[in-house]
Amino acid sequence: MADAVGQSLSFAVGVAVSPVPIVGVVLMLGTPRARSNGLAFLLGWLAGIAVVGTIVLVAAGGAGAAENGQAADWVSVLKLILGGLLIAVAVREWRGRPRPGEEPPMPAWMRTIDGFTPPKAGGFGILLSGVNPKNLLLIVGGAAAIAQTGASTGQQAAALAVFAVVATLGTGAPVALYLALGDRSASLLGELKDWMSRNNAAIMAVIALIIAAKLIGDAISGLA
């Protein structure tokens, strides 16, 4: 299990520090339904990761992700593909970053966040974790990394649970801060939101590039 957790940890961290979901949950914590919406978002976020991760583990297990203690060739090919896609994400994010003095664009759904109900907040949690293309690539990569270790089904499930918890630290931290401090957390959360909004593109570009390099390096090593 330790190997499975270690192999997937970098992907989980990449999901955890994704700025847009963090900004979204901070905005939810400034609405009249702050507590219920924040918790519903986190539950949806975890559900999205769990569903996508489980699907990948089941599919990879059926396809024989591990052969004689080593990753199957198709896993290495998948890593090459994911690495290439993440490089494309990095380039796109870097080119789209706001210029000095330019206000970063806000997604349309964030402008309607005051009217969110807990079910809608939970739904957006699922979308931003398991359906958002950037996070989807990272979750697929993380689950494939778990599957390739050849660990038992129970160990893979436990490793996926650890992956989900680590991947939730970024969105969970603002909610925990709000629950602990209440309205006193407003200034801290506001500063976090502003910083994440300004640096969203740069953060995602660097994360995508680093994980892409890891994936491609692992794939080359596996195929060699």
Q: pLDDT tens digits for 34-79?
A: 899 999 999 999 999 999 999 988 887 766 655 555 666 777 888 8
pLDDT tens per residue across span 122-181: 999 999 998 888 889 899 888 888 888 777 888 889 999 999 999 999 999 999 999 888
- Bridge partner residues of 66 (DSSP): 71
The model's confidence at residue 208, banded by pLDDT at 50, 70 and 90, is confident
Rg (CA), the chain: 18
Question: In the chain, which ranges are E strands?
Answer: 66-67, 70-71
Any idea how long the chain is? 224
Instruction: Write down the domain spans for the chain.
Output: 2-223
Distance CA 59, CA 143 (A): 10
Instruction: Give this prediction's pTM.
Output: 0.84
